[in-house]
Amino acid sequence: MLSISAEEFLIWKKKQLSKGGHQESFAVLLDCLGGVSRSDINLIAINPNEILHLKKKLEILESVWDDHLLKSCPIQYLCGITFWRDLKLKVTNKVLIPRPETELIVDIVFNIFRRKSEKLFFAELGTGSGAISIALALAYPLSNGVATDIDKDSLEIATKNFISSCKQSNLKFYCGNWWSPLENFKGKLDLVISNPPYIPKDTYEKLPIEVRNFEPKVALLGGEDGLKHIREIIQKAPLFLKEKGWLILENHYDQGEKIKKILSKNKFTSIEIVKDLSGIGRFTIGRYK
Ligand SMILES: C[S@@+](CC[C@H](N)C(=O)[O-])C[C@H]1O[C@@H](n2cnc3c(N)ncnc32)[C@H](O)[C@@H]1O
């Protein structure tokens, strides 16, 4: 641990932020590599006579920040860590950085299944870093979950994240295309969640460099209209869900109405578009019959 006066630290912080970048990214750097949390920063802002303890030298933090600004590489990849809900997750450029707006998917589940003692059997399709499934496995300790992904590297990271997040064993990981690893679970699932790749092809080409050049294409691109994977997931869902089982999907800002129609065609009921905190119809949910 290195000790530094709060005053010196605050001057250094101001200098770094004056070079560019987002406050949020800087906070991730300080927390992940520097060992300085947001609440530490709030504290020293009101008491600049404090002494701050850092896990890494300022020069090291500065070189990572410069690297981030120069290459537009997401700070989470440079630090190898991200925070999501109350989880601290390992991330590499093999997995999508789980987004804050996706955190709400867990709250949608909480609203549907209100008792934490519920013995659910849930599946997540396209788990990436494992964020959603791990949050659910922790919140419903008597439930069992299966998390799948087509990408082996993602599953390796998701498995490590689960092991480092808890001592539970109620989540298993399977590799394969959407439903194919779940053949043994036909008609058995109470709940299926997915944040599949849903970016339409022409939008993908225009994504900011920090996303397009660094995050996995397989995690983002949803075919010509963005709905390729969503259609496949919905069409096969009735084979795997129990009667009255729920399907919860994250989607692009303007896909909700189209997804509602696909759900309805496939005999889903209680179909609803759920807005995120910015008022965008970010999720579409439905119940199988
Ligand atoms: C948008 S990311 C979501 C990751 C994670 N669930 C999250 O919310 O942060 C989509 C995930 O779906 C996976 N994926 C893409 N195509 C797939 C397929 N055909 N079958 C299974 N998983 C797939 C990707 O590897 C990626 O991890």
Q: Mutual orientation of helices 131-139 and 152-165 as an angle, nearest 10°?
A: 30
Q: Based on the fold, state whether residues 42 and 99 are members of the same structural domain.
A: no
For residue 250, pLDDT beyond 80: yes
Q: Based on the fold, state whether residues 140 and 165 are members of the same structural domain.
A: yes
User: Which of 79, 107, 127 lies at the terminal end of a domain, its last residue?
Assistant: 79
Average predicted confidence (pLDDT) for the chain: 96
The finding on whether 207 has its CB within 6 A of some atom of ligand 1 is: no
Q: Based on the fold, state whether residues 75 and 131 are members of the same structural domain.
A: no
What is the distance in A from the centroid of ligand 1 to the CA of 220?
8
Query: Mean per-residue pLDDT for 238-255?
Result: 97
The finding on whether 34 has its CB within 6 A of some atom of ligand 1 is: no
Asked if residue 271 is part of any domain, the answer here is: yes
Backbone angles phi, psi at 12, to 5 degrees: -65, -45
At 7-52, the pLDDT tens digits run 999 999 999 999 999 999 999 999 999 999 988 988 888 887 889 9
The confidence score (pLDDT) of residue 188 equals 98
Single-letter residue type at 161: N
Q: Based on the fold, state whether residues 68 and 190 are members of the same structural domain.
A: no
Tokens of 144: 């069992």
At 112-171, the pLDDT tens digits run 999 999 999 999 999 999 999 999 999 999 999 999 999 999 999 999 999 999 989 999
Alpha helices in the chain (DSSP H): 6-18, 23-29, 38-46, 58-71, 75-79, 104-112, 131-139, 152-165, 201-205, 209-212, 228-240, 256-265
Give the CA dihedral 127, 131, 135, 136, nearest 10 degrees: -10
- 204: CATH: 3.40.50.150
**pLDDT above 90 covers what percent of the chain?**
93
Nearest to 10 by CA among 33, 35, 40: 40
Indicate which residue's Cα is closest to atom 2 of ligand 1: 219
C-alpha to C-alpha distance for 99 and 104, rounded to whole angstroms: 10
What is the distance in A from the centroid of ligand 1 to the CA of 89?
16
What is the distance in A from the centroid of ligand 1 to the CA of 219?
5
How many folded domains does the chain comprise?
Answer: 2
Pocket test of ligand 1: the residue of 148, 149, 203, 217 to mutate, having most ligand atoms within 8 Å of its CB, is 149
At 88-116, the pLDDT tens digits run 999 999 999 999 999 999 999 999 999 99
Q: Based on the fold, state whether residues 128 and 222 are members of the same structural domain.
A: yes
- Supply the DSSP symbol for 216: -
What is the distance in A from the centroid of ligand 1 to the CA of 56?
34
Asked if residue 212 is part of any domain, the answer here is: yes
Nearest to 159 by CA among 104, 97, 90: 90
The finding on whether 182 has its CB within 6 A of some atom of ligand 1 is: no
Structural domain harbouring 43: 2-79
For residue 289, pLDDT beyond 90: no
Asked if residue 41 is part of any domain, the answer here is: yes
The finding on whether 146 has its CB within 6 A of some atom of ligand 1 is: no
User: Which of 79, 109, 130 lies at the terminal end of a domain, its last residue?
Assistant: 79
Asked if residue 86 is part of any domain, the answer here is: no
For residue 1, pLDDT beyond 80: no
Q: Name the pTM for this structure.
A: 0.95
Instruction: Beginning with the edge strand found earlier in the chain, give each strand of the sheet holding 241-250 in spatial order.
Output: 171-175, 144-149, 121-125, 189-194, 241-250, 281-288, 268-275
Asked if residue 282 is part of any domain, the answer here is: yes
Asked if residue 55 is part of any domain, the answer here is: yes
Q: Based on the fold, state whether residues 104 and 218 are members of the same structural domain.
A: yes
Asked if residue 7 is part of any domain, the answer here is: yes
Q: Based on the fold, state whether residues 178 and 231 are members of the same structural domain.
A: yes
Q: Based on the fold, state whether residues 163 and 238 are members of the same structural domain.
A: yes
What is the distance in A from the centroid of ligand 1 to the CA of 178?
9
Q: Based on the fold, state whether residues 177 and 273 are members of the same structural domain.
A: yes
User: Which of 49, 79, 109 lies at the terminal end of a domain, its last residue?
Assistant: 79
**pLDDT above 70 covers what percent of the chain?**
100
Q: Based on the fold, state whether residues 74 and 97 are members of the same structural domain.
A: no
What is the distance in A from the centroid of ligand 1 to the CA of 33?
27
For residue 79, pLDDT beyond 90: yes
Asked if residue 33 is part of any domain, the answer here is: yes
Q: Within 13 Å and on the Cβ side, how many CA atoms surround 276?
A: 20
Q: Based on the fold, state whether residues 233 and 110 are members of the same structural domain.
A: yes
What is the distance in A from the centroid of ligand 1 to the CA of 36?
32
Bridge partners (DSSP) listed for residue 146? 123, 172
Helix and strand numbers (H, E) in the chain are: 12, 11
214 band by pLDDT with thresholds 50, 70 and 90: very high
Q: Based on the fold, state whether residues 113 and 160 are members of the same structural domain.
A: yes
The finding on whether 200 has its CB within 6 A of some atom of ligand 1 is: no
